[in-house]
Amino acid sequence: PNRPSPLGVTTVKLLKIEGEVLSVSGLDAVDGSPVYDIKPYAKVFDEIDGEKTGRDWCLTNPRSPMAVLIGSNDLAGCLSEAGKLHGHFCPGLSLGVYAAVTGMKRIASSIADGMEGLCAVIEVNSCFADGIQAVTGCTFGNNSLIYRDIGKTAVTLAHRGKPEGLRIMVKPAFREILQKDFPVYSLLFDRVVRERGGDEKDMADFKEKGREASFGILSYPSDSLFIVREVPVTLPPYAPMVNSLRCDRCGEEVMETKTVKKDGLLLCRSCGGGYPCLTGAGIVCHCG
């Protein structure tokens, strides 16, 4: 209905092929209608009971919808999905999404299934990281996301067993681009985020302008935003399977590799006096 020349799309059953003639059943078209395109059947798109099949397909292949977006270079669609994880749209999230799509299209030969085959090594804990997780499917939970507390807006995508990965780093000039092309957002960012100030209107305007900047960034050529190069990479071993033990002090179960011995007791790190903690400042030591 939104096209000047309406087109119909029908999933049909192929009965036979005779030379250049296809015999089908179920074609929803008036006799004499021109055929503009013929596509092979793809279950994720073409099953008649689309809603049910979509659910069933996602249960079997949960990464397939994102893979379709990546394959079609639908950056806006990827960003929309990432927003569900991040909670709002901002340039940092957009950069993570764009970097991840750029890398996935070059290095990923199959859909990331969260089994540690494809890993993402991130160097910053910021909005950028959420864009990487949403698009690549590499997360802390499936042990495919590796965090290096370096503080650079960069990610390296690598397949396990291969000596090289693809490192994508945001160019330093991006801040100048942001301030030049999205000045209102930059001012609101300083007020709302840096200074932790502003009122409800400032917050609403910040989210609106952040959304505009976030989707606007996707129109920039990737080489104006990123430095992309192949790098040697060494990934950590697969996540070990370890036993759970009971802390002698609090009685709670804890991974064996996270225990400490103190005064003859087997303790969890909470009871043992301290543990590393990932905060907005990076990895710090929390002493209990």
- Helix residue ranges per DSSP H, the chain: 43-46, 50-60, 64-71, 75-86, 91-107, 127-136, 174-181, 183-189, 200-217, 269-272
Tokens 């609106």 correspond to 208
- Helix residue ranges per DSSP H, 108-169: 127-136
pLDDT in tens, 33-42: 888 888 887 7
Single out the residue of 250, 186, 245, 176 nearest to residue 213, CA to CA: 186
State how far the Cα of 69 lies from the Cα of 67, in Å rounded to an integer.
Answer: 5
For the record, the structure tokens of 85 come out as 């994880």
Q: Give Dmax over CA atoms of the chain in angstroms.
A: 88
pLDDT in tens, 223-272: 999 999 999 999 999 999 999 999 999 999 999 999 999 999 999 999 99
Q: Phi then psi for 251, rounded to 5 degrees?
A: 80, 5
Q: For the beta carbon of residue 233, count every other beta carbon within 10 angstroms.
A: 19
For the record, the structure tokens of 112 come out as 């990331």
22, 14 contact by CB (below 8 A): yes
- Arithmetic mean of pLDDT over the chain: 90
In the Cβ-directed half-sphere of 249, how many Cα atoms lie within 13 Å?
15
- Write down the pTM of the prediction: 0.79
188, 198 contact by CB (below 8 A): yes
pLDDT in tens, 185-212: 999 999 999 999 999 999 999 999 999 9
255, 242 contact by CB (below 8 A): yes
pLDDT in tens, 116-159: 999 999 999 999 999 999 999 999 999 999 999 999 999 999 99
Q: Phi then psi for 35, rounded to 5 degrees?
A: -105, 120
Element (H, E) at 125: none
Tokens 């689309």 correspond to 50
